[in-house]
Chain A
Amino acid sequence: MRLNELSSAELHRSLAQGLGLQTGPFRFHIRTRIPGVVSGLSQLYSDFEVGNFDFYDFHVRIAPPVGLRRWFRPQVNFWMDEFSPFMPLPADHAFAQLEWGMNWCMAGHAHHYLMFHAAVLEKNGQAVILPGDPGAGKSTLTAALALSGWRLLSDEITLVDRNDGQIVPLARPVSLKNASIDIIRAFAPQAVIGEAARDTHKGTVAHLKPPGESVARMSEKAKARHIIFPRWQAGATLSTTPHAKADAFIHLAGHAFNYNLLGALGFDMTARLLEACNCQSLEYSRLEDAMDFFSELVA
């Protein structure tokens, strides 16, 4: 059953008891009564498969903390089972906290996969990995590509399956920060963007709904063919330079969630991934130019 087949009342009721949600290979059991989380899920996860599953990879919960902060300047907290990895946040950051919490669950536990901190999208059977330093505009670019016919595999975590080296999609919402929220609104007025959480540790954060087709194809793996290091530079004309594979290796490994933890396997998987990929650095200022570049890349 898809989430949008539930009425608002049914969704509230289900989530209060706990509702299963499938994202890529993972099944989350989500329990919450926080209205902001229910509406966020309803708006951004409407195409996702939900239901009562037998086995869940992660059981998570968003709820007010015990004590005064339930009422006075209310806060919310995230739990996986009985463990709460974060400090409580203001109640209006609840949906963002669920997103971060779900990332935390995967990054800290899903070591069947090699996990890079990078976005990844696919077109014409070719996956393109976008590693990005903070501020490089990775999420903006990811959102623009997802809104331009690319299949969104993941915005934050690139999962590589240790069995076959392929990229495993998650198809979860893209996290947009600060100015990029308005940039994406201007780029694609039809884009569905959730309620913004203001004054978070990342500034203002809002999530873009993943395209329906990306969600429908979330079980379809992809082969990585390109690794592009994007950098947005005000006023720059689009230019690319070859990116040395050794440097790309260091960057990916250094920005991975579990590269060290996988030991020799992590090294081999990264090396095999790089052998199959062409690596370039991209500098651009206009999103439209970047879209053209990526279209030609996989043409």
Chain B
Amino acid sequence: MKKSCADLLHALTHPQAMASFTPSQWDVVVRQARAAGVLGRLGALAQQHGLQQQLPEPVWHALEADLTFAQQQAIAVRYELRRLDRALAKLGIPVLILKGAAYVAMDSPASDGRFMSDIDILVAKPHLMDVESALTGGGWTSQYHDAYDQRYYREWMHELPPMQHLGRHTTLDVHHNLLPETARIKTRPDQVIASSHLLPGTQCLYVPDELDLILHSATHLLHEGEWGHGLRDLSDLYLLIAPRAEQPDFWQRLADRASQLNLQRPLYYALVELRDLFRLAVPDNVLSTPNAILARLMKALLRRGIFSFYPDCHPHLTGIAEFALFVRSHWLRMPAHLLLPHLLYKFWKQTIASDKEKA
């Protein structure tokens, strides 16, 4: 069963192979890529390798459609970043752009054909109130008015409740950490801010150093529980790492940085997936196993999570694995005495309370 995702993975790592796919192969690959959110990326890769004429016309049209969407989104993101710069420059603090928006701002290959649903920024925690009020002045407002949700985000999470711009309806996530306050792993956002680089042409927008960008991407993959995006996030990581993989000191610098930020675990799990699925040559010494039994269990769970976007790719027991990953992502976020009441409250809110509201 799992074999049927091989063509998609092959296309993501060896784009030239797309030229020899048969229409029947494409019939599966296009659907898988669409479900995984990487159809636009295939479009970008096909264009970069000049394959447009070599693909069946309807296939190229499908790839081109999502590529167009992603390119238009990138234009919108650049515009939004200019507005953010204008709204926050007066605070005189560095504002880090993370993930998709950072890839776009840096013209990284990881931005090619990539969809995103929001813009993520990171500021030092002491500045959070100032940033929030400056954003409110600029037209962004909090979308979560429920007192419980507000407390969930403000006390326990690593971000403010998502904000939305009143006019443009763009969503903004304001982080003060890479991981929740309550998470088991404690990382060092101050060091990530200290190593960041000013984005040319802006007054206060910074992008993470390339190693931190990789580590954050790996952390996000392992901790956010957004399994529908797992393969896309892995493909981002591949595009961030592959051009550097031959540099002699790259892997050592990456491993050192991971240990400085206390992110060895997420890096390990992400690299195992990149090695096994994307055939990335990861040196063995970078992959020092945290705990052999745990590592095997995690790998089994993670593999199912990454392929959860499409039924053909599911190995057995995906439902259980997805649930286990969901529990794990929450378990890593919060200790049990916070997590259990939280899940119970959410259950009550989504079932009983929403029925009452409807009635």
Which residues of A does B touch, CB under 8 Å?
25-27, 53-57, 59, 81-83, 109-112, 260-263, 265
Closest 4 CB pairs of A and B: A54-B23, A111-B65, A55-B23, A112-B61
**Is there an interface contact between B75 and A263, defined as CB atoms closer than 8 Å?**
yes
A-B CB contact pairs (8 Å), 13 listed: A54-B27, A57-B62, A81-B31, A81-B34, A82-B310, A82-B311, A83-B35, A110-B65, A111-B68, A112-B64, A112-B65, A261-B72, A262-B68
Task: Select the residue from A53, A81, A111, A262 with max chain B CB neighbours within 10 A.
Answer: A111
Q: Mark B63-85, 1 if CB is under 8 A from A, else 0.
A: 01110110110010000000000
Chain A residues closer than 8 Å to B62, beta-carbon distance: 57, 109, 112
Name 5 extra pairs, CB < 8 A, besides A25-B58, A109-B34, A110-B65.
Answer: A55-B23, A55-B59, A59-B31, A263-B68, A263-B71
Chain B residues closer than 8 Å to A82, beta-carbon distance: 35, 310-311
**Is there an interface contact between A55 and B72, defined as CB atoms closer than 8 Å?**
no
A55 touches which one: B58, B65, B66, B75 (CB < 8 A)? B58
Contact A54 B66, CB 8 Å, known A82-B311, A263-B72: no
Contact A55 B69, CB 8 Å, known A82-B311, A110-B61, A263-B75: no
> Roughly how many angstroms separate A83 CA and B36 CA in the complex, as a whole number?
12
Chain A residues closer than 8 Å to B24, beta-carbon distance: 54-55
**Is there an interface contact between A81 and B65, defined as CB atoms closer than 8 Å?**
no
> Roughly how many angstroms separate A53 CA and B26 CA in the complex, as a whole number?
12
Q: Mark B254-285, 1 if CB is under 8 A from A, else 0.
A: 00000000000000000000000000000000
**Is there an interface contact between B27 and A55, defined as CB atoms closer than 8 Å?**
yes
> Roughly how many angstroms separate A240 CA and B281 CA in the complex, as a whole number?
70
Chain B, interface residues (CB within 8 Å), range: 20 to 34
B290 at the interface (CB under 8 A from A): no
Task: Select the residue from B35, B69, B75 with max chain A CB neighbours within 10 A.
Answer: B69
**Is there an interface contact between B66 and A111, defined as CB atoms closer than 8 Å?**
yes
> Roughly how many angstroms separate A59 CA and B32 CA in the complex, as a whole number?
12
Q: Which positions 167-213 of chain B face chain A at CB distance < 8 Å?
A: none
Chain A residues closer than 8 Å to B59, beta-carbon distance: 55
B22 at the interface (CB under 8 A from A): yes
Q: Which positions 131-149 of chain B face chain A at CB distance < 8 Å?
A: none
Q: Who on chain A is nearest to B39 by CB?
A: A109
B335 at the interface (CB under 8 A from A): no
**Is there an interface contact between B58 and A27, defined as CB atoms closer than 8 Å?**
yes
B319 at the interface (CB under 8 A from A): no
Q: Who on chain A is nearest to B65 by CB?
A: A111
- B232 to nearest A CB, angstroms? 16
Q: Who on chain B is nearest to A262 by CB?
A: B68
> Roughly how many angstroms separate A141 CA and B258 CA in the complex, as a whole number?
67
> Roughly how many angstroms separate A57 CA and B65 CA in the complex, as a whole number?
12
Q: Who on chain B is nearest to A54 by CB?
A: B23
**Is there an interface contact between B26 and A109, defined as CB atoms closer than 8 Å?**
no
- A19 to nearest B CB, angstroms? 15
Q: Who on chain B is nearest to A27 by CB?
A: B58
> Roughly how many angstroms separate A142 CA and B113 CA in the complex, as a whole number?
38
> Roughly how many angstroms separate A265 CA and B72 CA in the complex, as a whole number?
10
> Roughly how many angstroms separate A201 CA and B329 CA in the complex, as a whole number?
41
A261 touches which one: B34, B58, B68 (CB < 8 A)? B68
B56 at the interface (CB under 8 A from A): yes
> Roughly how many angstroms separate A54 CA and B56 CA in the complex, as a whole number?
11
- A101 to nearest B CB, angstroms? 16
Q: Who on chain B is nearest to A265 by CB?
A: B68
Chain A residues closer than 8 Å to B61, beta-carbon distance: 25, 110, 112
- B161 to nearest A CB, angstroms? 27
> Roughly how many angstroms separate A57 CA and B71 CA in the complex, as a whole number?
22
- A195 to nearest B CB, angstroms? 31
Q: Who on chain A is nearest to B34 by CB?
A: A81
Q: Who on chain A is nearest to B64 by CB?
A: A112
A81 touches which one: B23, B35, B58, B72 (CB < 8 A)? B35
**Is there an interface contact between A109 and B65, defined as CB atoms closer than 8 Å?**
yes
> Roughly how many angstroms separate A263 CA and B31 CA in the complex, as a whole number?
25
> Roughly how many angstroms separate A109 CA and B34 CA in the complex, as a whole number?
10
Q: Mark B267-311, 1 if CB is under 8 A from A, else 0.
A: 000000000000000000000000000000000000000000011
> Roughly how many angstroms separate A57 CA and B26 CA in the complex, as a whole number?
10
Chain B residues closer than 8 Å to A261, beta-carbon distance: 68-69, 72
- A158 to nearest B CB, angstroms? 17
Chain B residues closer than 8 Å to A112, beta-carbon distance: 61-62, 64-65, 68
